[in-house]
Chains A and B, each alone.
Chain A
Amino acid sequence: MSSLPSTYDGVAAGLSLLVLLTEFAMLRAPLLRSQVRLYAFQSLVVTGLALYVAASKHIDELFVLAGLSLLLKVVVVPSLILRLLRDADTDLAGSSVVGSASAILIALVVAAFGFFAVGSLHVNSASLPTSSLAIACAIVLVAFVLIILRSDVVSQAIGFFSLENGVSVASLVVASGLPLIVDIAFLFDLLVAVVVFGVIMRVHHTRNATLSTSDFDRLKG
């Protein structure tokens, strides 16, 4: 069955790819503010993917999910972090261990690994856009690269939120029939996690007057 991919597969893969590209953009964004905006944009693309899946598979519940994700991930979470940044009065992301060119190269290798590893699972089925799942894996892995290479709490938190976006992409393409209540529970949990991240970031900032994680080296052994 080496027929051409359907329009549905194509659009889903295209939108997933856009999410992955945003992840790369975050990796080279030097300012924390722009990183948050990129995250908002990425969430917007994920919302768009949810709308597209909802419309083409006629799953009405996903419209509700898309609305909630628009509200939470595009509006509430970024504005919460931007407010924290305004109070913190720092704008530069913690310099990563490697330059942004090397970071992109590392991320390329990692993303390619994720993409081909999932591709080699050979899970061909009519309902599964395999390439979208592979891209979702690549997004998750690049989010890890972002978290590992950046040394400030905001970038690391954003890295986690964008990892969640990658999982959302996977969930939309392979598990679009997931009961709505479960999706809402996942989103609600994300919101709680954001609040807790915010509280701990604020504690760290008021205590050490920095958002950097470079002094997180007291506890070891």
Chain B
Amino acid sequence: MSVLVILIVCVPLAAAIVTWYAPVNVSQNLTIGVGVASFAMALVLLPRASHATITAGGLLRVDALSMVFLLAVAFLYATTSLFAKGYLALGDGANARRYGRRFYAGLNLFCWSLIVVPLVNGLALLWVAIEITTVISALLVAIDDTEGASEAAWKYVLLASLGLGIALFATIMMYYAGTAVFGASYSLSYSTLLSGALHFHPVIVRFAFVLAVLGYGTKMGLFPVHTWLPDAHSEAPTPVSALLSGALLAVSFYAILRFFQIAERSLGPTFPRDVLLVFGVATLLLASLYLLSQRDMKRLLAYSSVEHMGILAIGMSFGASIAVVGVLLQVLAHAAAKGTAFYGAGSMVRKFGTKDMTKIRGAVSALPWSGPMFVLAVLALSAMPPFGIFRSEFYIVEGGLSEPRDVIVAIFVVLVVMAFFGLSWFTTETMLSEPPSSASVLEGDVLVVTKGEVSNWIVAAMVVGLVALLILGVHPPASLSHLLDRAAAELGSVR
């Protein structure tokens, strides 16, 4: 098994190197192969990780919690590589070749770094891995070389680096908290920290936890340090947006969970839960308000990501085992739903040449497959049954009601309903409206296009995403439920 853990780390890295040198069409197929292979490896690891912790070489470690995030990342790796093949229409010129080379090497390297985050063993390596995701994704945000892209990339790299500076501070304070138990020099591995957490200096642990939530929260998109997120998501190439939203935010949340685990062991549940509750409610409130007024399709999806990150933080703050299972299920379902929604948005951006929803009319009739599937993905994001997010948010609410947290649950439900309106109002208007008449075309308001899909690869990626959402929503496999239960237990909630 540990061989498989090493393979899942090495293969994407090798793919990144090969795609830097190979011709673009080879890179496209190779990336699909490696993405699918990574997901397959993650699936093979799943049953084992839900029973025992797998370690490899001291540096790598897979437990149930990391397995959940590994699944989300690997799933997006596979589907995004399918989507990218359909989305990128590269010509034959030298510029296109150079772009394709950079894009594919960057994409594989980004996915590699995202896979590494949940697999490394220890807070220090975790920080290093997350910093690597930042630098690679900042370059990918800037890759289109437009004015918007360079503005978004600068904001992203500066804010995320500052956040990670704070997270580094948090890591060092946590290390200092441990010196009381382990002496001046010890390793920051999770098992070591958890074994001694009960005797850490509580004030230092509190300080470290708050710094960690603020620092990694910058990358996760928590209010008030979310401001880079909509810019980066809207200006990046769409395959990168999908990975940023579904995978990068998730692994940043994973980093917070690792600190949460230690803080909960050390301080008891109240303090860490309250911190997450404050950040979560503020984030959810802000996102639902912004969702009501978005007209740019990719920014809309970006604010929906902020909304979901708020939901994750609130879900963790409820603390009941069922709520934590819901949070982890939401990580998976959000990855699938947001990926699918971005693939649909990418299909429309390619078809209509704009992200402005007020200029797009009748997209469902123009895009017979990806149009309706985009609507379904948006409904899935707004937690409509029978998709996975309905189940996960149901669990979270159930968990909140089982603890005496009724007021918070009420606020939660109101804000989620508000977000539902914001998310579905303009998208359904854009998608389901009549195709434009020739009169409005003359006025230049909306764009008219011929009927037909941009690419079958995009359709394939979206079908896979929706099938996964259906499986998560209707009947999650027993091995997955077992994994989620165990991960929740690792986070300190015992049924």
Contact = CB atoms under 8 A, between A and B. Distances in A.
B192 to A, nearest CB: 12
Nearest to A137: B169
A140 B145 contact: no
A175 B155 CA distance: 31
Given A122-B203, A199-B139, A221-B293, A170 B154 contact: no
B151 interface: yes
B179 interface: yes
A125, A127, A189, A197 — which one has the most chain B CB atoms within 10 A of its CB? Answer: A189
Contacts of A203: 142, 145, 150, 153
B438 interface: no
Contacts of B127: 186
Interface stretch (B1-9, B170-178, B441-449): B170-178
Interface stretch (B13-21, B181-189, B247-255, B472-480): B181-189
Interface in B185-208: 185-188, 201, 203-204, 207
Nearest to A190: B131
Interface string A150-166: 00010011001001100
B415 to A, nearest CB: 19
Contact of B150 (A122, A167, A189, A207): A207
A107 to B, nearest CB: 16
A121 interface: yes
A106 B294 CA distance: 36
Nearest to A127: B179
Interface in B133-170: 134-135, 138-139, 142, 145, 147-148, 150-155, 157-158, 161-162, 165-166, 168-169
B109 to A, nearest CB: 12
B290 A164 contact: no
Contacts of A95: none
Nearest to B296: A221
A86 interface: no
A167 B169 contact: yes
A100 B235 CA distance: 35
A185 B128 contact: yes
Contact of B185 (A125, A177, A216): A177
A207 B145 contact: yes
- The dominant DSSP class at the B interface is helix
Nearest to B149: A203
B165 A160 contact: yes
Contacts of A121: 203-204, 207
Interface in B437-470: none
Interface in A186-221: 186, 189, 192-193, 195-197, 199-201, 203-204, 207-208, 213, 215-216, 218-219, 221
Contact of B142 (A123, A125, A200, A218): A200
A171 interface: yes
B162 A147 contact: yes
A219 B235 contact: yes
Nearest to B161: A160
A196 B128 CA distance: 15
Contacts of A218: 147-148, 151
A174 interface: yes
A144 interface: yes
B376 interface: no
A176 interface: yes
B299 interface: yes
B138 A189 contact: no
A177 B124 CA distance: 13
B132 A192 contact: yes
B173 A174 contact: yes
Contact of A178 (B152, B175, B231): B175
B125 interface: yes
Contact of B184 (A123, A127, A140): A127
A50 B294 CA distance: 50
Nearest to A196: B135
Contacts of B283: none
A140 B169 CA distance: 10
A147 B172 contact: no
A195 B186 CA distance: 31
Given A200-B150, A207-B150, A221-B293, A144 B204 contact: no
Contacts of A185: 124-125, 128
Contact of B147 (A153, A178, A207): A207
Interface in B402-443: none
B154 A123 contact: no
A112 B3 CA distance: 53
A17 B462 CA distance: 57
Contacts of B234: 219
B188 A221 contact: no
B165 A147 contact: no
B168 A186 contact: yes
A179 interface: yes
B413 to A, nearest CB: 26
A97 to B, nearest CB: 17
A176 B184 contact: yes
Contacts of A101: none
A148 to B, nearest CB: 10
B132 A123 contact: no
26 contacts: A121-B203, A122-B203, A125-B180, A140-B169, A153-B154, A157-B158, A167-B172, A170-B172, A174-B179, A175-B176, A177-B179, A177-B183, A177-B184, A177-B186, A178-B124, A178-B172, A185-B124, A189-B128, A193-B134, A196-B138, A196-B157, A200-B153, A208-B147, A208-B150, A213-B154, A219-B148
Interface of A: 121-123, 125, 127-128, 140, 144, 147, 153, 156-157, 160, 163-164, 167, 170-171, 174-179, 182, 185-186, 189, 192-193, 195-197, 199-201, 203-204, 207-208, 213, 215-216, 218-219, 221
Given A144-B162, A200-B154, A203-B145, 7 more contacts: A167-B168, A174-B176, A175-B179, A197-B161, A207-B150, A216-B155, A219-B230
